[in-house]
A and B are shown apart, each in its own frame.
Chain A
Amino acid sequence: DQQVKQNSPSLSVQEGRISILNCDYTNSMFDYFLWYKKYPAEGPTFLISISSIKDKNEDGRFTVFLNKSAKHLSLHIVPSQPGDSAVYFCAASALRTGNQFYFGTGTSLTVIP
């Protein structure tokens, strides 16, 4: 049972525009969320996180938004750069009950120069 879902397997965006990657979850106990970026032949790299006490977290060009009522989070990248082309995973955990992270299936982002 997939508790974290990324329904868009791929996304193409023009350089300089905004990239929006979406993630939905089913477990209302999740209280900590992460976004990872993964290049081919490398391990995932941590990008940004958000806890359930916040609805927005910003770090440079990356902003994560959390809508707890909709069980939805999104990652905004502004402006998008060709080097952002990678697979993006969202992950969620219920820190109150354990440290197991559940990953989505990933969205492959292509930023077109």
Chain B
Amino acid sequence: AAGVIQSPRHLIKEKRETATLKCYPIPRHDTVYWYQQGPGQDPQFLISFYEKMQSDKGSIPDRFSAQQFSDYHSELNMSSLELGDSALYFCASSPEWGNEQFFGPGTRLTVL
């Protein structure tokens, strides 16, 4: 069965650079969620999209932005990267609002 795809799986950037993380939800899933998990921490909700519109916003820094495209894939854009942005970034999708979420494998971002 198709799963959530995230790319890249690993990304190394330097401070003040920008990064773009991509998420491809499971086919026919219209809701996408982004989470950030720092070392030894629980996943923190960043932002979610339903039918290509932002539906919920969590602890997403102003330096980050995200959108969901017409094919339902989503991109998380991160600018002016800081050392503290080093984390595992998970994308999840669900078939409808409020349903269980299916997670991707994550993108590990390292900021040097």
Q: Which residues of A contact B (CB under 8 A)?
A: 4, 32, 34, 36, 41-46, 49, 89, 93, 95, 98-106
**What chain A residues lie within 8 Å of B44 (beta carbons)?**
103
B90 to chain A, nearest CB (A): 5
Is the pair A101, B101 in contact by a Cβ cutoff of 8 Å? yes
CB <8 Å contact, A103 and B42: yes
With A89-B42, A101-B45 as contacts: A42 and B105 at CB distance below 8 Å: yes
- Give residues in B with beta carbon < 8 Å to A: 4, 31, 33, 35, 41-45, 48, 50, 55-56, 58, 90, 92, 94, 97-98, 100-106
**Chain B: minimal CB distance from A105 (Å):** 5
Judge whether B90 and A46 touch: CB under 8 Å.
Answer: no
Task: Say whether, besides A100-B56, A105-B41, A49 and B105 are in contact (CB < 8 Å).
Answer: no
